[in-house]
Amino acid sequence: MSKYCRDLRVNSVRKLSDKHVLLKLTHDNPLPQMCPGQFVEVRVDNSPNTFLRRPISVNDVDVSKNELWLLVAAVGEGTRRLCQLQEGDSLNCLFPLGNCFTSAEQLRNKRVLLIGGGVGVAPLLYQGRKLAELGNKPSFLLGARSEKDLLELEYFEKLGSVYITTEDFSKGEKGFVTDHSILRDAYFDFIQTCGPKPMMMSVARYAMAHHIECEASLENLMACGLGACLCCVEKTVSGNRCVCTDGPVFNIERLLW
């Protein structure tokens, strides 16, 4: 798949919480094809201490509006600057990067559970929409610290069944995602997950114990996004692999978890 470096225009900015912003980006020319699981390396301008691009998951692609959605969490100087972008601003993006989740077409007849935590829900929206478009209603299991940290619920609820856990019991069931009763009450053929590494490791243990095929989208620190700097290396059964090029999506059987 070809890679592009383009200045995209900010079509809209929506503040989802005190530290989360949904950016919708467009271009005068049609955006290239992107698939769920891939990511974008964005250049952060007007941030003197931000020297490297920041990796952001593809949240969704609206072909009808020629829009790329990016869900940004303000966790450092660079991402805080991104959250300050306004409609009409320009954002330089290198994309699409990385590999993809197993496609909706390959999962057409399977019962799929998409598990996300925090801003890790971002790539699951695009994957869920692809599944729903093929008539395969996905299930979403979303976890957060509290109700105010749950992101894009209205979009997920349009695509499939949504199950929620919060650590403070402000919405859904109390605890972590692997504590939710849906994991005891229903069976799934395939799990795809993204979020904090401890959460994904817990999901991987559940999947292995129940003989469910599972993919995890890793969120290792990245710099170049092209496999040159080696700062995102993950240990796998076949040696060290760059998450930006060999991933970010890995079958859990490849990971030394």
On whether 244 is known to bind a ligand per the annotation, the reply is: yes
Whole-number pLDDT of residue 50: 81
Residue 223 has pLDDT above 90, yes or no: no
Question: How far is it, in rounded angstroms, from Cα 141 to Cα 120?
Answer: 12
On whether 224 is known to bind a ligand per the annotation, the reply is: yes
Whole-number pLDDT of residue 211: 97
Question: How far is it, in rounded angstroms, from Cα 176 to Cα 178?
Answer: 6
Residue 48 has pLDDT above 90, yes or no: no
Residue 49 has pLDDT above 90, yes or no: no
Q: How much of the chain exceeds pLDDT 90, in percent?
A: 92
Cβ(137)–Cβ(251) under 8 Å?
no
Mean pLDDT over each residue of the chain, to the nearest integer: 96
3-state helix, strand, coil in the chain (%, to 5): 25, 35, 40
Give the mean pLDDT of 23-52: 93
Question: How far is it, in rounded angstroms, from Cα 61 to Cα 4?
Answer: 16
On whether 80 is known to bind a ligand per the annotation, the reply is: no
Give the mean pLDDT of 200-226: 95
Question: How far is it, in rounded angstroms, from Cα 126 to Cα 129?
Answer: 5
Alpha-carbon dihedral of residues 219, 233, 256, 251, nearest 10 degrees? 60
Residue 38 amino acid letter? Q
Query: Is the bond preceding residue 48 a cis peptide, omega within 30 degrees?
Result: no
Q: What is the pLDDT of residues 153-203, one digit of tens each?
A: 999 999 999 999 999 999 999 999 999 999 999 999 999 999 999 999 999
On whether 202 is known to bind a ligand per the annotation, the reply is: no
| Greater model confidence, 164 or 231 | 164
On whether 35 is known to bind a ligand per the annotation, the reply is: no
Rounded alpha-carbon distances, angstroms, from residue 248 to 18, 40, 93, 104, 251: 27, 12, 18, 17, 10
Alpha helices in the chain (DSSP H): 77-82, 122-133, 153-157, 182-185, 197-209, 243-246
Can you name the residues that pair with 163 across neighbouring β-strands? 141
Question: How far is it, in rounded angstroms, from Cα 121 to Cα 114?
Answer: 9
Q: What is the pLDDT of residues 74-126, one digit of tens each?
A: 999 999 999 999 999 999 999 999 999 999 999 999 999 999 999 999 999 99
Can you name the residues that pair with 90 across neighbouring β-strands? 9
Question: How far is it, in rounded angstroms, from Cα 216 to Cα 237?
Answer: 15
Confidence (pTM) = 0.95
Question: How far is it, in rounded angstroms, from Cα 18 to Cα 220?
Answer: 24
Residue 1 has pLDDT above 80, yes or no: no
On whether 100 is known to bind a ligand per the annotation, the reply is: no
Whole-number pLDDT of residue 251: 98
Structural domains of the chain sorted by starting position, each given as residue range(s) with its CATH number in brackets: 4-97 (2.40.30.10), 104-217 (3.40.50.80)
Q: How much of the chain exceeds pLDDT 70, in percent?
A: 100
On whether 54 is known to bind a ligand per the annotation, the reply is: yes
Q: What is the pLDDT of residues 54-81, one digit of tens each?
A: 999 999 999 999 999 999 999 999 999 9
On whether 194 is known to bind a ligand per the annotation, the reply is: no
Residue 74 amino acid letter? A
